[in-house]
Chain A
Amino acid sequence: MIELHRVSKVYSVGPVKVPALREVSFRINKGEFVVLTGPSGAGKTTLLRLLYRDDLPSEGDVEVLGANLVGLGRSQVAALRRSIGVVFQDSKLLPVRTVYENVAFVLRVLGTPRREITARAFDALRAVGLSARAQAYPAQLSQGEAQRAALARAIVRRPPLLLADEPTGNLDEAMAAEIVAVLKDIGAGGTTIVLATHQARLAATLRRRTLTLGGGRVMKDEG
């Protein structure tokens, strides 16, 4: 499903080179739920950005869903992303659209037949327990609800891979637990999940395979 081989990423800030990842190698199998943890600046977000091909590694190979991401053309990147759901710390919901419209937007953009859109959008909203708030606007949602709406948008295409970058970062413990429960449900359906979080306690309670990053390296691979 995912394989990284000696991946390094160096950012150039003017003349200064800042290494974000150093020779990272690991493999994630289909259906696994992997927690990526470590302090801020450990390289978690950089790693996720490489996985959905938002950035390229400076060295090494990144293979996702059978495709080596180095050297993909624009249309191939688009095709890859159709199989990956991504959730961020801020929900990135479109403020002028309702929850339903936000979820349906993804399907409309990808040319899903109109008759399927409503059913699939409500399936996704039910999966995150938000179907009752379908007509609410993002400003009317709690942070936990907004994050669940973002999750619904990420899974509405039923992607085989879900990447979540600090989805509980802005939430209190109760709301974070809600999101984690939803993620576990999604994972139970066979979706491969990579969850990045700096919250060590959350990672510990999840009891899943945990990759701990530090200084751009994989320090521990447990579980």
Chain B
Amino acid sequence: MLGFLVGEAFRDLRRAGRVAVSAVVLITLSLGALGGFWLVSSNIGRAVAKWHDQVRIVVYLKREPSACDAAALLERVRAMPGVAGVVFIGKADALRSLKQVLGKDAGVVDQLPANPLPASLEVTPSATAATPDGARDLLTRLAVLPETDEVAGGGDWVERLAHWQRLLATIGLGVGAVLAVAAILTVTTATTLILHARRHETEIMRLVGASELTIRLPVLLQGMLQGLAGAVLALGALVITHSVVA
């Protein structure tokens, strides 16, 4: 019996022809769009979360403090809200770092008459300060320190990325929703056509005393088959795209 009903569902799909194909294509597109945007968005989200941990704020000092003053300054900064950690980088440390960065060209640094690099504090914001508002507040607090010459860094670019991630997710939902509505309308049209094409079968089935389940199941099955075909195609396309990109 089930074999007969499944056979009837396939017969209906063949009857619906191009409309059924359109329905499957639209289901594939809507699920593919949703899945594609979700994949991109979640990957960016993961990157944003990772890069949030690497956000640093650099406070350039007017002059290099003595060891005693530097320790006191570190204490004051550490006590500020939104600060997870702080490291003092003296002028000599900064020069060493620059030499490391320059590598084989590090010799040019020795030509300088004096060390031009300022001493600085490298501040790691806490999780609460690693947001646009939190980072802005922390920057303001650090900028008003009497020792501060200039404050740089922050997570603006990370926030911009997070903004793009949210935008992508929203666009994905929007495009997916529009395509989903189109898919629903197409499936409805295909089902209506099938119901129209099946009207003689339905009439005979009712006339000979078929159960309601037997009458309705072929139509339900053809709808399910369209959905399944669309989902499998969308999943296949996403898997292939992912493997190619990866």
Binding site for B on A (CB under 8 A): 52, 74-75, 77-84, 86, 92, 94-96, 105-106, 108-111, 153, 157
B204 to A94, Cβ gap below 8 A? yes
Chain A proximity mask over B29-50: 1 for CB below 8 Å, otherwise 0: 0000000000000000000000
A82 to B209, Cβ gap below 8 A? yes
A86 to B207, Cβ gap below 8 A? yes
Question: Which residue of B is nearest A157, CB measured?
Answer: B208
- For the complex with contacts A84-B209, A105-B201, 11 further pairs of A-B residues with Cβ separation under 8 Å are A52-B207, A81-B206, A81-B208, A82-B209, A92-B204, A108-B4, A110-B208, A110-B210, A111-B1, A111-B214, A157-B208
Q: Tell me whether A79 and B209 are in contact in the complex, defined as CB-CB below 8 angstroms, given that A106-B204, A109-B214 are known contacts.
A: yes
Query: At the interface, yes or no: B167 with Cβ under 8 Å from chain A?
Result: no
Chain B stretch 204-232: residues in CB contact (< 8 A) with chain A: 204-212, 214
B212 to A81, Cβ gap below 8 A? no
Interface extent on B, as a size class?
10 to 19
Query: At the interface, yes or no: B104 with Cβ under 8 Å from chain A?
Result: no
Minimum Cβ distance to chain A for residue B148 (Å): 83
A92 to B208, Cβ gap below 8 A? no
Minimum Cβ distance to chain A for residue B195 (Å): 15
B214 to A74, Cβ gap below 8 A? no
Among A52, A80, A84, A108, residue most surrounded by chain B Cβ atoms (within 10 Å): A108
Q: Interface residues of B: mostly helix, strand, loop or mixed?
A: helix
B201 to A94, Cβ gap below 8 A? yes
Give chain B residues whose Cβ lies under 8 Å from the Cβ of A84.
209
Query: At the interface, yes or no: B76 with Cβ under 8 Å from chain A?
Result: no
Give chain A residues whose Cβ lies under 8 Å from the Cβ of B110.
none
Query: At the interface, yes or no: B203 with Cβ under 8 Å from chain A?
Result: yes
B204 to A75, Cβ gap below 8 A? no
Question: Which residue of B is nearest A75, CB measured?
Answer: B211
Give chain A residues whose Cβ lies under 8 Å from the Cβ of B212.
74-75, 78
Minimum Cβ distance to chain B for residue A145 (Å): 18
- B209's partner among A80, A92, A108 (CB-CB below 8 A) is A80
Question: Which residue of B is nearest A94, CB measured?
Answer: B200
Minimum Cβ distance to chain B for residue A191 (Å): 16
B200 to A78, Cβ gap below 8 A? no
Among B200, B207, B214, residue most surrounded by chain A Cβ atoms (within 10 Å): B207
Question: Which residue of B is nearest A54, CB measured?
Answer: B207
Q: Tell me whether A78 and B204 are in contact in the complex, defined as CB-CB below 8 angstroms, given that A108-B4, A111-B1 are known contacts.
A: no
Chain A proximity mask over B1-35: 1 for CB below 8 Å, otherwise 0: 10010000000000100000000000000000000
Question: Which residue of A is nearest B4, CB measured?
Answer: A108
A78 to B4, Cβ gap below 8 A? no
A107 to B209, CA, bound (A): 11
Minimum Cβ distance to chain B for residue A172 (Å): 25
A95 to B200, CA, bound (A): 9
Query: Sorted from nearest, which 4 A-B pairs have the closest CB atoms?
Result: A81-B209, A82-B209, A78-B209, A109-B210
Give chain B residues whose Cβ lies under 8 Å from the Cβ of A81.
206-209
Minimum Cβ distance to chain B for residue A105 (Å): 7
Give chain A residues whose Cβ lies under 8 Å from the Cβ of B206.
78, 81
- CB pairs A–B below 8 angstroms (8 shown): A78-B210, A80-B209, A81-B206, A81-B208, A81-B209, A94-B201, A94-B204, A109-B205
Give chain B residues whose Cβ lies under 8 Å from the Cβ of A79.
209
Q: Tell me whether A82 and B208 are in contact in the complex, defined as CB-CB below 8 angstroms, given that A94-B201, A108-B4 are known contacts.
A: yes
A86 to B204, CA, bound (A): 10
